[in-house]
Structure 1
Amino acid sequence: MPPKKQALTKTAAKPAAKGASGGAKGAGTAKGAGATKAKPAAEPPKGPPLPEETLGAKQILPLLTKDPEGKLKSSKRWPYIVDTNGLIPRLLQYSDVNLLEVTSKDQMEPDRIRKALMGSLRHGKPIVFDMGDMDLFSAINQFLDGIQSGLTTLVLTKKVLEEDCIEKLIKPNDDSEYSNPMFYQTEGFSFSVITSKEEVSDDVKSKMLVVRVE
């Protein structure tokens, strides 16, 4: 079931510190002699902007769950959905998706995101990041890389669907149904971002398929 809908605020949750793994608070890299500075996560690969797609509101859920026309498969990118009416997040609340509000501090906790991502990979369903009326794409990248260095790249390139990448997300205290990546039903998985902001940055256009809701 999708995470419980929480009130939308105008201030984005503060991104988790790079390298954070959801462990005990206060843990970090030791300072002083001999301490090494962690390398920043690799920037997700960029490509040429693709022609934008325009779909009706009723076509969005089938796109995320079944990709009936093969748009996501042929583009090799996940959708960045521009919904100026703000209708799609409300529709997705009643669908079998993991819907996360980027402006919610609780929902952007590293382990909350990790478990939502694993749940979508395990049960073959969409994970959707709702940015409200803002462009918080960079913040989402930081949240993902706060779980595991380079996770943004693994997600955007779809390598996160591979068993070895899934295995790295699993923790010893996770429920047994999540312990074996061989049982993950990744065929129905999709990753998407939704905003009601009409303008789309060049950075997003180079990494995702822009889908506008008519």
Structure 2
Amino acid sequence: MSLARLQLLEQLQGEARAEFQGLKCSVQELDDVLFKDVGGKIHSDGRWPLVIDPSGQAAIFLRYRDTNYLNTVNPSDMSVETIRLALLGAIRYGKPLVFDMMEVNMFDTVKKQLERLEPGLAEALLGRTILANERYLSLLRPTDGPEYADTEFQAARTEKFKLFVITKQHHPPEDLLQTLLPIQVVLRRSSRKRGCRRGPVSQRLPSAF
């Protein structure tokens, strides 16, 4: 009996590790979920979204919206200056900055490049403190032009800044799932209810500027 209980406990622990808490939504619901945050789930969680979508449809959706999109496997997109301008522009104009990691976990590389740009920047960005006390103004350079003068950064726009990270990986690393809010994109033809549903996200996902 003791051995049976131990085996059952190990089985339950294994099942618990096989799923994580996050949100689910369809591609059609991404506008409401990511941009409008209907229901305030992203705001209440406090973390930036990690969009998990092996199909790649979410990346296409975000790439052709009004976002500053960076492909993390593209060396030119990952240059320090490109990241600086993309981040600064996203804050200045109040739109999302998107890091698309494709099938590769490039999160450490993203953080290292942010640290090369400015020490402490990765933590400030992920912790949302980059918007506090106009912290972002430290990213300005004299050559940026008049549209990036400090007087051009208006709260009505900067408060709309967002950060999205996309992955095609079926099983993102645990540290990534803890740092960001997992949002699993589920492919389906129609949806009766709009918005996300919070609950366990199975590791088995549909395949399919």
In structure 2, what is the equivalent of residue 192 of structure 1?
164
In structure 2, what is the equivalent of residue 84 of structure 1?
54
Establish whether residue 113 from structure 1 lines up as the match of residue 80 from structure 2.
no
In structure 1, what is the equivalent of residue 10 of structure 2?
none
In structure 2, what is the equivalent of residue 59 of structure 1?
29
Task: Give the one of 120, 123, 130 matched to 1:153.
Answer: 123
What SS does the corresponding residue of 1:96 show, helix, strand or coil? coil
The 1-side partners of 2:126 and 2:167 are apart by: 17
Task: For residue 208 of structure 1, report the CA deviation from its aligned partner.
Answer: 0.8
Task: For residue 202 of structure 1, report the CA deviation from its aligned partner.
Answer: 1.7
In structure 2, what is the equivalent of residue 36 of structure 1?
none
Number of residue pairs aligned between Structure 1 and Structure 2: 165
CA contact (8 A) 1:80 1:210 kept: yes
The 1-side partners of 2:150 and 2:133 are apart by: 9
Task: For residue 183 of structure 1, report the CA deviation from its aligned partner.
Answer: 2.2
More helix by share: 2
Give the structure-1-normalised TM-score.
Answer: 0.73
In structure 2, what is the equivalent of residue 183 of structure 1?
154
What SS does the corresponding residue of 1:188 show, helix, strand or coil? coil
More strand by share: 2
In structure 1, what is the equivalent of residue 174 of structure 2?
202
The 2-side partners of 1:203 and 1:186 are apart by: 28
1:118-164 deviations in Å (ceiling 9; x for gaps): 11101111010011111111111111111111111001110111243
The 2-side partners of 1:195 and 1:164 are apart by: 30
The 2-side partners of 1:99 and 1:125 are apart by: 11
In structure 2, what is the equivalent of residue 137 of structure 1?
107
Give the structure-2-normalised TM-score.
Answer: 0.74
CA contact (8 A) 1:65 1:188 kept: no
In structure 1, what is the equivalent of residue 38 of structure 2?
68
In structure 1, what is the equivalent of residue 73 of structure 2?
103
Q: Which runs of 5+ in 2 are unaligned?
A: 1-19, 187-209
CA contact (8 A) 1:66 1:188 kept: no
CA contact (8 A) 1:128 1:191 kept: yes
Task: Give the one of 172, 175, 181 matched to 2:142.
Answer: 172
What SS does the corresponding residue of 1:90 show, helix, strand or coil? helix
Residue identity over aligned pairs, in percent, reads 30
The 2-side partners of 1:64 and 1:98 are apart by: 15
State which structure, 1 or 2, has the greater radius of gyration over its C-alpha atoms.
Answer: 2
What SS does the corresponding residue of 1:51 show, helix, strand or coil? strand
Superposed CA RMSD: 1.5
What SS does the corresponding residue of 1:52 show, helix, strand or coil? strand
CA contact (8 A) 1:64 1:126 kept: no
Amino acid at match of 2:161: F
The 1-side partners of 2:65 and 2:82 are apart by: 19
